[in-house]
Structure 1
Amino acid sequence: MQASIKTAGIIIATGILFGLALSPAHAADSTDTVNATISGGNLSANPTAPSAMTPVVLDGVHAQSSTGTAAWTITNARGTSTAWSLSASVVDFKSAAGSVDGDVRTLAATNLVITPGTITAGAGSDAAPTAAAVTMSNAGQTLVRSTTLGKGTFTLTPTFSLTVPANTFRSNFSGAIGDSPLNPYVSTITFTIA
């Protein structure tokens, strides 16, 4: 009789362990919240004038053109759909008076045309805006304008073209005529991005 009781005890214990091993795990329900705050950055540009424009030799008959290029980057990291524009105003070009040439020589700002050219959108940016040639003046002129799709980084290489009419005065000599350097025609360009 004792032998049968021990066998039954072993079978019952094994059945309980086997049942616990096969029962599904019982996990508690869980909900987690993940927060990610995204702050807007800045609207910026690095517009510059060409470091030098091509020299011009007057021929008394034809208008000439002095040209140059610059490399620009515009970044709109504000993270909004607010439109933006890059504009410029130009002060009249002047050749400073020299020791012999006493009069300041002037070329109107309207003789300068800036052509933004092809604008390339950087990786992950909205489509690039388009822009046409703009005749400059003393008042601000819009060079590049985005609409609501203007987020990201954009690069361009604008061309500056200064028309020099046939009847333009030459640059003034800084000192004695023929023996000193010429005072170039100089202007100040003010760029604004907003």
Structure 2
Amino acid sequence: MAGSTKPGLIGLTSIALAVGLGVVLSPSASADTSSDTMSSAILGGALTAVVSAPTRMSPVILDGRSSHASVGRPAVWTITNARGSSAAWSLSVSATDFVSAPGTLDTLERTVAVENLTITPGIVTARTSEGADAAPTTEPVTVSGLPQALVWTSSLGKGTFTLTPGFSLNVPLNAYRSNFSGAIDGSVVNPFVSILTFTIA
């Protein structure tokens, strides 16, 4: 029939228009938003040092011709600055003279002046993988009875640092031997002993 439209096409067109109008005329969705404040307190920790002196230095045999060095290395030192600030800090050392105590046959104590002891801090390693600052400054120290800085920083010394220093005691040519603590055969002696004080501040 002229001018007629197939019923199937009318149905499809009506459905398409209905879907299109539904999208256009539907009310826009409103977003449900909110905001929160998040906080975290970061508190400073401590400034600490785990240090030690060699328990036993290498023995020395006097030969009457020259001085000798008694040497040793302690366990690894660890310095931790967890204060969370750029305040300066230093690790210092002082010590007493080396003394061999009187024995059963030797009635006088013998001494070697503490100024014969040198401590060389060596290489300081910063745990940079954990975000430590650059390694602090070091300097070999001729030890005395007054505190002297071994390791220090003027700023930016946050983090953990490790080092293994070297100790060297110069035994003068005219030094006395250690006192015998028992028989004079020298099998047991009173070694020369010094007390070291380390301060981190």
TM-score by length of 1: 0.88
Where does residue 39 of structure 2 map in the other structure?
35
Where does residue 76 of structure 1 map in the other structure?
81
**Quick one: distance in 2 between partners of 1:100 and 1:120?**
48
Change (3 A) 1:27 1:161: same
What is the CA deviation profile of residues 146-176 of structure 1, one whole-angstrom value per residue up to 9, with x for unaligned ones? 1111000000000010000011000000012
**2:30 aligned to which of 26, 34, 37:** 26
Change (3 A) 1:140 1:105: same
The total of aligned residue pairs comes to 186
Q: Which amino acid aligns with 1:142?
A: A
Larger Rg: 2
CA drift of 1:28 comes to 4.0
Instruction: Provide the alpha-carbon RMSD of the alignment.
Output: 2.2
CA contact (8 A) 1:48 1:72 kept: yes
CA drift of 1:20 comes to 6.0
CA contact (8 A) 1:87 1:140 kept: yes
Please give the residue correspondences for 1:1-194 in structure 2 after superposition, counting only pairs within 5 Å: 17-19=22-24, 24-70=28-74, 71-122=76-127, 123=129, 124-178=131-185, 180-194=187-201
- Give unpaired runs (5+ residues) of structure 2: 1-14
CA contact (8 A) 1:118 1:130 kept: no
**Quick one: distance in 1 between partners of 2:50 and 2:79?**
7
Q: Which amino acid aligns with 1:52?
A: R
Where does residue 10 of structure 2 map in the other structure?
none
CA drift of 1:12 comes to 10
TM-score by length of 2: 0.85
- Aligned residues with identical type, % of pairs: 55
CA contact (8 A) 1:45 1:74 kept: yes
CA drift of 1:15 comes to 6.7
